[in-house]
Structure 1
Amino acid sequence: MHTSVPHRLDRSAPAIAAATLCAFMQLAHGQAAAPAAAASAPASDSSESETVQKVIVTANKREQAALDVAASVSAIGAERLTLSGATRLEDFAAQIPGLSIIEVTRGQMAVVLRGISTGALQSTPTTAQYVDEAPVGSVNAYAEGAVITPDLDPSDLQRVEVLKGPQGTLYGAGAVGGLLRYVTAPADTERFFGVVTLGANKVSEGGVGSNERVALNVPLAKDVLGLRVSAFERTEAGYIDNPVDGRRNGNTARTRGGRVALDCKLDPDWAVRVWALTQKLKADGYGSEDVLAPSLAPLTGDLQRSTWTPEPQTMSLDLANASVKGRLGSFELVSSTTWQDTESRMATDTSRANTAILQFIFKVPGLGVQTDGLIKTRRISQELRARSSAFDDTLDFDLGVFGTKEDSSYLITAGSPFLMATGQVFPSPPLADLDIGSKYQEVSVFGNATWAVSPTFDLLGGLRLSSDKQRFDQDDVPTIAAPVAAMVTQDVAQKHTTWMLGARYKPTPDSAVYVRAASAYRPGGPSALPPGILPDGKASFTPDNLISYEAGYKSEFLSGKASIEAAVFATDWKNIQLRTSAQGPTIAYAYFINGGTAQSNGAEVTLVWVPASGLTLRANGAYTDAHLTSDAPAAGGVAGDAMPYTPKWSASTGGDYNFALGAHKAWVGATVNFIGSRRSDFSQHLPVNLPSYTTLNANAGMDIAQARVSLYVRNISDRRGINYAAPAGDQTTGLNPSGNPFSATVIQPRTFGVDLAYRF
């Protein structure tokens, strides 16, 4: 059995190095460190809004007003998330138009933008993810990067940004659908303050959850050096029961983590920022219930999943980044270095899918088996970029170079079978033992430019040249499933070019119209298909590529009391990367291939209105028609099939009202979120229709001096929304399309919660 490596804040060494570097650079700049000084607690966010809040985003790798970004961008502030009790992406994904999620279970989730996805089993992510300047995840096809994604606690964030449409010139491989970026809270170099939060919640059909958070900011050298330290621990109540052994709330999950950030302002032109974070999730089981297709009616009962062996899952993320920003002459320079370690283990009871074949092999009925997957990825990335202007500031441009290296391992085991009735292990060798090692290296150079043709009209362009190398090693240890040892080794090197062209017109300072065309790609790689299995089998698959055309309009009106952002888009996706399988002499081999084309066309709109002081109303909607335009036989798809898990219609509306209650600030808020119907897979691969669902959430609270009380209710109507469905035992491999019963991942039932915070 493989055991998880203990995780800790072992990436804080860069923070110590940065402090030392900061001190030496201060001396080099002729500065003396200012003494640390205490400061009062931060001012309460108590001002009542009279106009729409100006949104500043960094999705284009520099601070810009959202109005000035020639692309569709959404942002949600961390304050709004914490007041509503949102702790995971599932809690607020519906508030971002064009974004959908495929959640296999807690800790395994794919993020989809504008329907660019082939489902949970796709090769690599189609949405790039960043934490500040740090790329997160994997673009290697053999590290399950499509579903192993960060889901950061909002307690130490400033906001979450989503940049839609292909972002290949800025973010390179994997940003074919767009970008999800977590912006963390920096250390403050001026004030000492902190906050302690305790919370509890109850799931109406499940257990009790809790959360504890603490954050402390210390100005080590006033106006020069600041330190921020935070930690949290969260228990997410389970709500799935096991009728086999009577166990209740079997999908309880515990997440704990922390972050250290050090910010150093050397002088007005130079700054160093270093941070390290760690986060680890432990879940007792899957958040799915057994259902019968096509009705998706519960097999044994509401919120029940039958298992004959434990299904623990763990996922850990250790991430650190060191960024230096400064100016040399007319150039603004940025250096960003990122270290990442991820580890994920998924144990799955695949008895239902395999009991028939086990009976055939061993001539014993009622045998079950557990499969275990352990994935580890270590990644280091470096980016250097420079930004400047020319021709009397009419031309802004940036140039950069990016490099990344990944080393991943994937161990897949299936132990000896056991008797489902008693749990007794049946005497036999292991059923399967597979060791996959993979390496990915990439170097890219890129440039982007904006030319101000006139004070109101800009032209934009960008280009990125990328080169990658990959190596794949698969070692099949002799087992019952594969009695003959096998080794597969494949090396692949590829190059790719992405581009962007656009124009922006601002008829008034508070409005903008833009058009944009851009491309993006996901890297190809080794196919993992051993030679000789198929007559026409290939040792590699090529990059897929995507081109999107977009037009949008942004405006603030009614004297700043309202805003609108609208976009229409048309996307062509070719050489789609697909996971399929082929039968070998003794076992089936999963491998990757290119096949099929697709289109995604649609529209999105977001409205914000402040009709009265303290009252903010929001509404957004999206229409996405994503479908295959040619057959994809490797994935069981035919032309016209909808892309998996993409709702044609989605919408969200809500509002917040801040008001005075005596001498105290109080607030109430609510959201209504609609997710349209979706198809779970392509038409030749046992698809089911996932019905639409609507959730209603509400929150209220009050500030009393330095204390804050927040109350919230999520999923008030207690809907059973489904975010993922597959044949039982099919959660991780996709190799057992055995039909009924299906496992359906269900959103968290009605949840009541309260948070108590004290700020100092």
Structure 2
Amino acid sequence: MWKTMFGCGAALAALAAGGAAWAQDRSAGSAASADDDSEIVVTAQKRSEKLSDVPVAVTAVSADQLQAAGAVTLRDLSASAPGLQIAGGIGSGSLTIRGITSGNDGNSTVGLQIDGAPVGPAAFGAAGGSYMPELDPSLLTQVEVLRGPQGTLYGSSTLGGIVNYVLKQPNLGETEGSFFAEGMTTRKGELGGTLRAMVNTPLATDRVALQIGGFGSALGGFVDNVAAGREDFNNRKSYGGRIALAAELTPDLRVTISDLYSRVESKQDLVVYNPATQRPAAGDLVNNDAVLPVYNSKLNMVALNVDADLHWATLSSITSYQNLDSRNLVDFTAARLGAIVVNFLPLYGGVTLPTPANPAVSVELGTDKITQELRLTSPDDGSFKWVVGLFYNHEKSQNAQVVSSYDENGRPRPGNLSPLVRYDLLTHYTEYAGFGNATWSPTPKLDITGGIRVQFIDQDYRQLYSGSDAAALNALFGDFGFSPTPADSGLAKDSDSVVTYLASVRYKFSPRSMVYARFATGFRPGGPNIIVPGLPTTFEPDTTYDYELGVKTSFWEGRGFFDLSLYNIDWKNIQILTIANGINGQTNGGSATSRGVEASLRLEPADGLTLSGSFAYSDAKLNETIPGGLGTKGDPMPMNPKWSGSLSADYEWPMGDAEGFVGASANFVGKRYSGFQSSLVYAQYVLPSYTLVNLRGGVRVDDWEFSLFVRNLGDERAQLGATTLASNLVAVQRPRTIGAAISKRF
């Protein structure tokens, strides 16, 4: 993996600002004032600013918080930010913010960034909505969640917001490192554990430093396949790391080059549920599908970051090369496509399948992506601040949907059983953009901000169609009056231009309190569909328009912080997943509106005691009926709870030369629909509300920390997401898990 590090040539990048949550950066008994440097710093507006000063709804979660919560996948982050949820039950699922989701989104509605570089495919041909990077907390400083459209500063696929991973940067001044080990046991499941390590060493003090970090995690399974005699089949392994070399070439010029690698190999946490009873169809934690659900993914990202202080401005360049691959396998025995392959295609000359037939669909995605951003940022002082930049993105992607006969372990059977039918959608996606953002402060208390981004998108694509049943499927289509699918569609092209806007007003009542009003837009690119009778050949971009009012205030001499946001998002020309003859595609529907309230509160009422809570109310509905029976006016948006919230309490106290700590957290998520409530295309499933409770406690001695934890204390069978493309597959929460951890910093 490291050999690709020096293959990325271009100049770039802004230093990613980091900051830990208040409780992690203070000794017990100290309270921060409103202008204390320990307050969280974020880069929401492409410059380093205190969280309490940013006129954007943003949550920052430190690496320490993620580690304490046992966060292993991005799914675990959903409890940390109001309005953030995980949609879908296949693969890792997909992120959604403020109800901006149609359920199983082909393209993501939430942008993903790593140190300012967009991650994951933007083209629908690469199914970016199913991709989420899984970065271990050992590699991170913090994760920033920006709620509401962010198209002006961050570009495409930011309809609902963005999630920005801020990585640890090499320390030029001193040698440091850390080690972490964790072991756990899951009720009705297997043992598991995690190892993490990081070392940072200056190669030339205050000039050059090297940082190397790595991790490995093995989570034991807890779902059985009784029919096949398989216990705890849904094991999950992940591993990876990062190497970064930073050099301060002059006092005004810093360069960082890095290579990040992450890999996941897993059977999915999916259980078949009965939609009428909302109970498991074959027993608690049982999935008797003939083919076990598989999800594997890989990310290799090489980045070159350059910051040059020009004194009148900072020139930043952020360059990245990414290689992403994933495979998602789901049994289709109970689906319409499975019945066609088994019962009908042999009548048209197709392959007669053995018993058991085990038809399944494997979605295999691959993307090579290059991004480049050049940005000039004015100094932070003065009454006029600005950011201007240019952006370039080029992707080469392949989306293969492969229908085959598989054994129970997900291996395709040889010969003419694999592939039975194969669709390959090959896409080239190129995006050019220019953007600017300016803030004028006519008085020390009043700020007015405006921004614009102009983007041009070019795509070319072609589809290949093959397989031992390809001719038989075309013959079947012919009997229903459909044109046959060509073996090669030939090259087609599509172009779009999109303009996004931003305007906000902020008024500071005092150095500790402010109110803001914000208008922002976001968009998601259109693109090509797989050529299947019943699907449109292309679909159009969709856009969101956000009207927001927010308040942030620090009080009680810095021991309290409160923020509140009210929003109304209009979503136009919605992109919606549809299905034709068992193959997934995209179409455009009508419009929807999401209205809601989000709030969070943090208190330090006594030395060492931190209390925090958040809640979100989101009312997201279709404004008009979607043609083709996909949804009806008034239907709630899928996978969006009206109510969600969290509570936590942490207490630290001195114990002689040591320090003790305990903590508890609870996360509530309300009822959700797996799809549009009145859909005639997809079967409906209602996911019930749930509450998860976690406990932890331990002791710190010098640079060592020892802790015990219980996750999912109530052994709740929380249903996190669902898909009804085949059987009713529900992603379930890991049962009660008890474990211990040890770590050291030096």
AA in 2 matched with 1:564: F
Q: How many residues align?
A: 705
Could you tell me which residue of structure 2 aligns to residue 343 of structure 1? 325
Deviations 1:612-660 (A, max 9, x none): 1111100100000011011112461111111110010001010111111
1:565 to 543, 554, 563: 563
RMSD: 2.5
In structure 2, what residue type is equivalent to 1:191?
E
Question: What is the aligned partner in structure 1 of residue 457 from structure 2?
Answer: 468
Pairwise mapping of residues 384-403 of structure 1 onto structure 2 (< 5 A)?
384-388=374-378, 393-403=382-392
Cα-to-partner distance string for 1:150-180 (whole Å, 9 max, x where unaligned): 1211112111110111111100111111110
Decide which of 221, 231, 249 is 1:248's aligned counterpart. 231
Map Cα deviations across residues 602-621 of structure 1 (whole Å, 9 max, x no partner): 00001000001111100100
3-state SS of the aligned residue for 1:330? coil
2:307 paired with 1:325? yes
Specify whether residues 86 and 540 from structure 1 end up closer, same or farther in structure 2 by C-alpha distance, changes over 3 A only.
closer
Question: Cα distance 1:694–1:270, how it changes in 2: closer, same or farther (>3 A)?
Answer: same
Q: Residue 295 of structure 1 corresponds to which residue in structure 2?
A: 277
Is this contact kept in 2: 1:189–1:224, CA < 8 A? yes
Task: Report deviation, 1:581.
Answer: 3.6
User: Contact 1:579–1:635 (CA<8 Å) still a contact in 2?
Assistant: no
CA displacement at 1:127 relative to structure 2: 0.5
In structure 2, C-alpha distance between the alignment counterparts of 1:478 and 1:659, rounded to whole Å: 66
Partner of 1:28: none
For residue 102 of structure 1, the aligned residue among 73, 87, 94 is 87
Is contact 1:265–1:271 with CA below 8 Å preserved after alignment?
A: yes
2:686 is the alignment partner of 1:693: no
Matches within 5 A, 1:143-182: 143-182=126-165
Structure 1 match to 2:53: 68
Tell me: CA distance 1:641–1:132, structure 2 relative to 1, closer, same or farther (3 Å): same
- Separation in structure 2 between the aligned mates of residue 214 and residue 609 of structure 1, nearest angstrom: 33
Contact 1:678 1:691 in 2 (8 A): yes
Q: Give the Cα–Cα distance (whole angstroms) in 2 for the partners of residues 612 and 417 of structure 1.
A: 60
Q: 2:290–2:408: 8 Å Cα contact kept in structure 1?
A: no
Offset at 1:419?
11
The verdict on how the C-alpha distance between 1:415 and 1:326 changes in structure 2, with shifts beyond 3 A counting, is: same
The partner residue of 2:180 within 185, 191, 197 is: 197
Number of the residue aligned with 1:540: 538
Is the partner of 2:430 in helix, strand or coil?
strand
Residues of 2 paired with 1:71 and 1:635: CA distance?
Answer: 37
Aligned to 2:633: 639
Match of 1:263 in 2: 246
Q: What does residue range 350-429 of structure 1 map to in structure 2 within 5 Å? A: 350-353=332-335, 356-357=339-340, 358-362=342-346, 366-388=356-378, 393-416=382-405
Does structure 2 retain, via aligned residues, the 8 Å contact 1:666–1:702?
yes
Shift in Å, 1:103: 5.0
Query: What's the offset of the Cα at 1:282?
Result: 0.6
Q: Deviations over 1:40-98 (max 9, x none)?
A: xxxx9671153356111112221100111111110111112212322222223112101
Q: How far off is 1:724 after superposition?
A: 1.6
1:486-524 Cα distance to aligned partner (Å, 9 max, x none): 322421011010001110000100111000001111111
State the distance in 1 between where 2:735 and 2:467 align: 45
Question: Which of the residues 263, 276, 286 maps onto 1:304?
Answer: 286
Is contact 1:460–1:503 with CA below 8 Å preserved after alignment?
Answer: yes
Q: Which amino acid aligns with 1:747?
A: Q
Please, which moves more after superposition, 188-197 or 601-610?
A: 188-197
Calculate the TM-score normalised by the size of structure 2.
0.90
Distance 1:678 1:417 in 2: 33
- Inter-partner Cα distance in structure 2 for 1:703 and 1:185: 23
Once structures 1 and 2 are overlaid, which stretch shifts more, 669-678 or 428-437? 428-437
8 Å contact kept, 1:506–1:512: yes
Kept in 2, the 8 Å contact 1:621–1:650? The answer is: yes
Partner SS state of residue 468, structure 2: coil
Match of 1:659 in 2: 653
TM-score, normalised on structure 1? 0.88
Distance 1:85 1:254, change over 3 A: same
CA apart distance, 1:393: 2.3
In the TM superposition, what is the alpha-carbon distance from 1:476 to its structure 2 partner? 0.6
Kindly state the Cα deviation for residue 14 of structure 1 after the two structures are TM-superposed: 6.2
- Give the aligned residue type for 1:369: P
CA distance in 1, matches of 2:311, 2:704: 48
* Identity across matched positions, percent: 33
Specify the alignment match of 2:100 in structure 1. Answer: 116
Between stretches 170-179 and 656-665, larger displacement belongs to: 656-665
Question: SS state of the match for residue 130, structure 2?
Answer: coil
Kept in 2: contact 1:429–1:480 (CA 8 A)? no
Which range moved further: 346-355 or 294-303? Answer: 346-355
The residue type paired with residue 654 of structure 2 is: A
Once residues 544 and 736 of structure 2 are traced to their aligned partners in structure 1, the CA distance between those partners, rounded to angstroms, is 40
Gaps in structure 2 of 5+ consecutive residues: 14-23, 33-37, 347-351, 475-485
1:347/1:373 contact within 8 Å kept: yes
Q: CA deviation at 1:348?
A: 2.5
Q: Please name the residue that 1:754 is paired with.
A: 740
* Deviation of the 1:416 alpha carbon: 4.4
Conserved? CA contact 1:579–1:634, under 8 Å: no
Corresponding residue of 1:13: 6
Cα distance in 2 between the residues matched to 1:616 and 1:593: 47
Which AA in structure 2 matches 1:545? T
Partner of 1:88: 73
1:353-408 alpha-carbon deviations (Å, 9 max, x no partner): 25543134448875322332221100000000112269x92211111100000000
How big is the shift at 1:704?
Answer: 2.1
1:556-603 deviation line (CA, Å, top 9, x unaligned)? 011111010100000100011122244xxxx56543222110000000
- Alignment CA distance shift 1:81-1:486 (3 Å): same
Q: Distance in 2 between matches of 1:606 and 1:479?
A: 57
Question: Given that residues 120 and 131 in structure 2 are in contact (C-alpha distance below 8 angstroms), is that contact kept between their aligned partners in structure 1?
Answer: yes
Alignment of 1:518-667 (within 5 A): 518-529=520-531, 533=533, 539-582=537-580, 590-634=584-628, 636-667=630-661
Tell me if structure 2 keeps the 8 A contact 1:197–1:756. Answer: yes
> What's the secondary structure of 2:67's corresponding residue?
helix
Tell me, what secondary structure is at the counterpart of 1:415? strand
- Conserved 8 A contact 1:49-1:610: no
Deviation at 1:327, TM superposition (A): 2.1
CA distance in 2: counterparts of 1:417 and 1:155, whole angstroms? 37
| CA displacement at 1:328 relative to structure 2 | 2.1
TM-aligned CA distance change 1:588 to 1:676, over 3 Å? closer
Asked whether 1:77 is paired with 2:62, we answer: yes
- The answer to whether structure 1 residue 456 and structure 2 residue 445 are counterparts is yes
Aligned residue type for 1:524? G
Secondary structure of the 1:92 match is: helix
Matched-pair contact (CA < 8 Å) for 2:88–2:723: no
Match of 1:733 in 2: none
- The 8 Å contact of residues 523 and 543 in structure 2, kept in 1 or not, is answered as yes
Output one character per residue of 1:318-350: Cα deviation in whole Å (capped at 9) or x when no partner.
012111111224121101101100011123222
Gap runs ≥5 in structure 1: 1-7, 23-43, 731-735
Letter in 2 for 1:629: N
Alpha carbons 2:418, 2:467 under 8 Å: kept = no
Distance in 2, matches of 1:235 and 1:560, equals 41
Query: Aligned partners of 1:751 and 1:419: how far apart in 2?
Result: 28
Shift of 1:428: 5.6
1:439 to 428, 431, 456: 428
Q: Are the equivalent residues in 2 in contact too, given 1:294–1:689 (CA < 8 A)?
A: no
> Residue 228 of structure 1 corresponds to which residue in structure 2?
211
